[in-house]
Amino acid sequence: MIKIFLKRQSVNYINFQNKKLFPSKIVCIGRNYIEHIKELDNEAENNMLIFNKANSAISDTIKYFSEDTRYEGEICFLIQENKIDAVGFGLDLTKANEQNYLKEKGLPWERSKSFNGSAVFSEFVKLEDDISEIRLELFINDNLIQYGNYDLMIYKPEQIIQEIKTFMSLENGDIIMSGTPKGSGTYKIGDKFEGKIYIKDKMILSSFWVVD
């Protein structure tokens, strides 16, 4: 099992096979599910939309930031030797009003996407099964809110890796957040989140959070 831990200092690390790995970055894929593009009234891009979250964004808890902060459940991949080595469930937290303002002005998204605590991860597990059968489910207060799988992705994991490598190196321990399906929304203190990852009908991980 690979579990996310937080250091007291400024650099966050993950524990993998009894070794500490320090992700240099979290690479995020935007607009990778058609129905999510529609629900946010966005336009599909001709090229893959890629942005980064800082190492300092990593967390294993969901914090309440503001009434407009939006959750986005995602299948996440841990990279080792330029390949996918493990999978986890992630939440990309977004300050929606701030992001909309920045987009309107043509400005970078970091203030709305890469703030401390904006990348929430479950434990990661070694990926040994057929990745084309992977899917996620996100329950909030026991209701199924998000569902997504490999077939619904516009860009598949191997395509994502190849595109990233055209302009940026992937270091051991880096994490790829592969995009969110429809159903993203805001949340409040006390909400109960449960993220699940399946390969076919086998659940390979489940993680539970309560917003504080």
For tokens 């920045």, name the residue. 102
CATH for 154? 3.90.850.10
Closest CA to 191 of 59, 98, 91, 54: 91
Cα–Cα distance for residue pair 197/121, rounded to 1 Å: 12
pLDDT of the residue at 46 = 81
DSSP-derived 3-state class of residue 68: coil
pLDDT tens profile 96-151: 999 999 999 999 999 999 999 999 999 899 998 899 999 999 999 999 999 999 99
Domains identified in the chain, total number: 1
157 vs 178: CA distance, rounded Å: 7
The domain in which residue 121 lies consists of 2-210
Read off the pTM.
0.92
pLDDT value of position 76: 97
Which residue numbers in the chain have pLDDT < 50? Answer: 7-9
Place of tokens 């086998």: 202
DSSP class of residue 26 equals E
> In whole numbers, what is the pLDDT of the chain averaged over residues?
92
Neighbours of 208 (CB within 10 A): 11
Nearest-angstrom CA–CA distance, 21 and 9: 15
DSSP class per residue in 148-200: EEGGGBSS-HHHHHHHHTTTSPPPTT-EEE----S--EE--TT-EEEEEEEET
